[in-house]
Amino acid sequence: MHKLLTALGANVAIIGAQWGDEGKGKLVDAVSGNFDFVCRFSGGANAGHTIVVDGTQFVFHLLPSGLLHKNTVGVVGNGTVVDLPDLLKEITDLEKSGLANVSDRVKISLRAQILMEYHKKIDQELERRKGDQKIGTTGRGIGPAYADKVSRIGIRCEDLLDRDLLREKIENNCTFHNKLLGLNLDPEKEIEALEAVREQVKPMLCDTRKFLHDQIAAGKKVLFEGAQAHQLDIDHGTYPFVTSSPVSIGGVCTGLGVPPKNINGVIGIAKAYCTRVGAGPFPSELENETGELIRKNGHEFGATTGRPRRCGWFDAVVTRNSIETAGVDTVNLTKLDVLSGMPELKVVTKYTLDGQELFTVPTTRKANQKLELEFETFPGWEEDLSGVRKFEDLPENAKNYVLGLERLCGVPIRAIGVGPDRNDLIFR
């Protein structure tokens, strides 16, 4: 049993506690050897989860990040939106890199929504029309795919099994979206794209809810892999600058059909500072040289779109909010090594708006302009942390920073990242 997991129970969720890219993929990979199944429950290929093993980098988008372990089975749940050609390419790329039988180890829910080519076109068109109000989406079609789902016109993986129904739905949807948006979506191209992948996809399809239920009942262990993060959650995030699915703990239940009693532990992932890609409020953002320095030292460029990530100080208000909502038991603080060489570090401890304390990021531009922040300042450290493997061996100021964040967040920080590699972790 992995040290980090001993107090957490059989089935564990890993949830992003900030604005995404906290390093979820790295921890999922690091602990996956202890699980039989690793499941994605929400989102799509908007995610980019990076894993580094002995210097080789792997980026997972929709496939669960546990698949580098040869006995792990990956489940893509009903709550996801699946770009099927893209998913097959991810599988092929992994197999090309030397990993055997990946397609035999992937199960896709019959109820997962198929993300169509037209969703990407609609995503880009909607962003274009928003002008300077745009969300800054990944352009992967996520919002429009979820919009079709809740409008009850979405196409699900099970529809692949009925050619006539599939054709009818695609034709209707193209007509609908073409009329609404003045687009020129071609149903024949969409049908062709799915026909090309149908036979490869079919053996992976299954009733993942029943499958997981039976596996859990038989004592198998399941890891729930979060994508995006609490501040991008459709309900709890900085709406409308969010993604389009429930990405916090509730998404595990709806996106896989797993009841709350089968989530036995929750690990929150938080960077030692904050980043955000795309538009939207970011109270602790540093639009100055310090922000530039963090971006440079942390290689803060998107794993999916390559965009520079906005950088800022650690925000304990944001992290506490995520911890409370997801019921986080313990935090994995990542990228502590990136802060070496900073003379001092600030942490947001409190928000006030018009004299009232706020416990969440306000969503309107006006409120954000008036928002007052309180900070706690910590002295920095010079030493390179990348070789450190024991908490006791960290420089005194780095230890104090971690202990300060632990106090401000209210849950133990039991894992600390000091580099991108699978093994660059300190466990307390």
Binding site for ligand GDP (CB under 6 A): 16, 20-26, 47-50, 52, 303, 334-335, 337-338, 417-420, 424
193 within 8 A of 117, measured Cβ to Cβ:
yes
Residue nearest ligand GDP by beta-carbon distance: 417
Smallest gap from residue 232 Cβ to ligand IMO (A):
5
**Which partner, ligand IMO, Mg ion, ligand GDP, none, binds residue 232 by CB below 5 to 8 Å per kind?**
ligand IMO
Percent of the chain that is helix, strand, coil (3-state, to 5): 40, 20, 40
**Which partner, ligand IMO, Mg ion, ligand GDP, none, binds residue 420 by CB below 5 to 8 Å per kind?**
ligand GDP
Among 107, 111, 140, 310, binds ligand IMO (CB under 6 A): 140
Q: How many CB atoms lie within 10 A of CB 281?
A: 18
Query: Which two tokens mark 281?
Result: 């409020």
Q: Does 21 qualify as catalytic in the annotation?
A: yes
Does 137 contact ligand IMO by CB under 6 A? yes
Which of residues 64 and 143 has its CB atom nearest to ligand GDP in the complex?
64
**Which partner, ligand IMO, ligand GDP, Mg ion, none, binds residue 312 by CB below 5 to 8 Å per kind?**
none
Which of residues 52 and 191 has its CB atom nearest to ligand GDP in the complex?
52
Where do the DSSP E strands lie in 139-283?
A: 205-206, 222-225, 265-271, 274-276
Does 23 contact Mg ion by CB under 5 A? no
Secondary structure of residue 187 in the 3-state scheme: helix
**Which partner, ligand IMO, Mg ion, ligand GDP, none, binds residue 136 by CB below 5 to 8 Å per kind?**
ligand IMO
**Which partner, ligand IMO, ligand GDP, Mg ion, none, binds residue 135 by CB below 5 to 8 Å per kind?**
ligand IMO
From the list 45-53, 259-267, 323-331, 404-412, the region that binds Mg ion by CB under 5 A is: 45-53
Which of residues 143 and 417 has its CB atom nearest to ligand IMO in the complex?
143
Does 21 contact Mg ion by CB under 5 A? yes
Residues 230-259 that bind ligand IMO (CB under 6 A): 232, 243-244
Residue with the two structure tokens 């809810």: 209
Does 317 contact Mg ion by CB under 5 A? no
Best CA proximity match to 335, nearest among 240, 420, 246, 409 = 420
Q: List, as one string, the DSSP characters of 140-157.
A: SSHHHHHHHHHTT---BG
Secondary structure of residue 343 in the 3-state scheme: coil
Which residue type, as a one-letter code, is found at position 253?
A: C
Burial 72-95 (b: 16+ CB within 10 A, else e): bbbbbbbbbbbbbbbbbebbeebe
**Which partner, ligand IMO, Mg ion, ligand GDP, none, binds residue 322 by CB below 5 to 8 Å per kind?**
none
Query: Which two tokens mark 335?
Result: 């990228």
Please name the helix (run of DSSP H) or strand (run of DSSP E) that holds residue 373, with its range, or none.
strand 372-379
User: In the beta sheet, which residues pair with residue 358?
Assistant: 351
263 within 8 A of 13, measured Cβ to Cβ:
yes
Among 51, 222, 303, 408, binds Mg ion (CB under 5 A): 303
Q: Does 213 qualify as catalytic in the annotation?
A: no
Residue 64 burial class via C-beta count within 10 angstroms: exposed 0-12, middle 13-18, buried 19 and up: buried
Residues 47-86 vs Mg ion: string with x where CB under 5 A?
-x--------------------------------------
CA dihedral angle for residue 75, residue 81, residue 84, residue 90, rounded to 10 degrees: -60
Q: How many CB atoms lie within 10 A of CB 219?
A: 8
Which of residues 173 and 290 has its CB atom nearest to ligand GDP in the complex?
290
Chain positions contacting Mg ion, by CB under 5 A: 21, 48, 303
Chain positions contacting ligand IMO, by CB under 6 A: 16, 20-21, 46-49, 135-138, 140, 142-143, 227-229, 232, 243-244, 277-278, 303
Catalytic residues: 21, 49
